[in-house]
Amino acid sequence: MLKIRPIEFKGNIFTLLVLYIKNYTAEVIKNYILKKIKKYPIFLKNTPIVINISYLPHLINWNNIYNAIISTGLHIVGITKDFHRNFQKDILRSGLPIFSEGKNIFNIMNVLKKKNYSENRYYNQPKIITHPVRSGQKIFVHSKDLIITNNVSAGAELIADGDIHIYGIMRGRVLAGMNGDITRNIFCTKCFAELISIAGEYLLSDQIPIHFLGKGVHIYLKNNILFIYPLL
């Protein structure tokens, strides 16, 4: 009889939003988050997040801010390591893990792999999906481009090491260059994305200029800034 292991550890990729706290008044933070959740309920409701408190003065009450955030329904899964040492006891007491931010990891990877990218720009054959991508679906492709010839629903997630092409309506989260490759691109024919990201740099829907919504766009990364241009 085949013996089944009771547990198994496996690597996986998860995308987490980083919430940058720039105001130290708990009520202001809570109200602003609730306003955002009301505007983007599918995207933000019960979302796991990492908190960045590097902007906060060291004399504020961390517990008040922590309670204000969790009262909105967001799930705090960790804190970025860039914070004043005076916060350390309160953070450790709350039991939250401390993370390095993804974009810092990506920047290190870019330095280490830049030569490889310049010499070997060829990925495997692209993954092509012809059916609609429904809300809640997550598609990840390793070392290749991802091509969708249908619509992507809100709440769906597309992740690829290579470029991502969407020949349909683009909603949901779209993340290219997930291995840190800053040369990757996103192309779509109708842009309504909740989040777009290349090599760890990202924009939320309300950061995308309104004149690009519903239009065909080309998104690429230059000097750690995401640029959006219309498709000709």
Q: Which domains does the chain have, with CATH numbers?
A: 17-100 (3.30.70.260), 122-230 (2.160.20.70)
CB proximity list for 36: less than 8 A, separation 6 or greater: 44
pLDDT, residue 52, reads: 86
Q: What is the mean pLDDT of each run of 10 residues along the chain (232 residues)?
A: 64 70 89 85 74 80 88 87 75 77 42 40 78 91 92 92 94 89 93 91 88 94 91 77
Cβ distance 61 to 20 under 8 Å? no
- Cα radius of gyration (the chain): 19
pLDDT, residue 111, reads: 35
Q: What is the per-residue pLDDT across 215-225, written as a single tens digit (0 to 9) for each?
A: 999 999 998 89
pLDDT, residue 1, reads: 55
Question: What mean pLDDT is reported for the chain?
Answer: 81
Q: Pull the structure tokens for residue 133.
A: 């991508």
pLDDT, residue 147, reads: 95
Kindly report the number of other CB atoms within 10 A of residue 92's CB atom.
Answer: 12
pLDDT, residue 55, reads: 83
pLDDT, residue 103, reads: 45
pLDDT, residue 38, reads: 82
The torsion angles phi and psi of 46, rounded to 5 degrees, stand at 60, 25
Q: Which residues pair with 97 in a beta bridge?
A: none
pLDDT, residue 132, reads: 94
pLDDT, residue 71, reads: 92
